[in-house]
Amino acid sequence: MKTPNHSQANILKVLEQTKKPLSAQEIWAEIQKQGQKIGVATVYRNLESLKIKGLIQIRTVHNQAIYSLVSEKQNFATCLQCGERTPLGISLAQSVEAPTLQSQAFEVYYHTLEVFGLCSPCQERSP
């Protein structure tokens, strides 16, 4: 079943509205702001369900899990200093790996190319 429940729908709405990847804490804070009563543990549990349903993707920045919508087709370069993400303007949609995995009975939800470095403001700030 890929249909999200009420809490999961709220999480997806927050990710849509903010249009940027968020940590579980940030997602929880946004939902609170919108006047919804929800516990942090519930947010974590639902993020896990959404991940397994293939509706969100997870990355780690500064040892923190960051969640975003899977519908994001873009690939990004992530700044190691501030975590800012710059669109790369290229897509891995034609990647050879996904079809190979599909044929091995693995259901591919998304795949990513991650590039890390420093964004321009951080380059200027760095010695």
Residue whose pair of structure tokens reads 């690939």 in the numeric block: 75
Stretch that binds Zn ion, among 33-41, 44-52, 93-101, 119-127 (CB under 5 A): 119-127
* 84 in contact with Zn ion (CB under 5 A): yes
Stretch that binds Zn ion, among 11-19, 37-45, 64-72, 79-87 (CB under 5 A): 79-87
* 122 in contact with Zn ion (CB under 5 A): yes
How many CB atoms are closer than 10 A to CB 6?
A: 9
Sign of the Cα torsion 99, 59, 38, 26 reads: negative
* 82 in contact with Zn ion (CB under 5 A): yes
Min dist. Cβ of residue 4 to Zn ion (A): 33
* 77 in contact with Zn ion (CB under 5 A): no
Cα–Cα distance, 68 to 11 (Å, whole number):
10
Helix (H) or strand (E) holding 66: strand 64-69
* 61 in contact with Zn ion (CB under 5 A): no
* 81 in contact with Zn ion (CB under 5 A): yes
Cα–Cα distance, 101 to 4 (Å, whole number):
26
- Binding positions for Zn ion, rule: CB under 5 A: 79, 81-82, 84, 119, 122
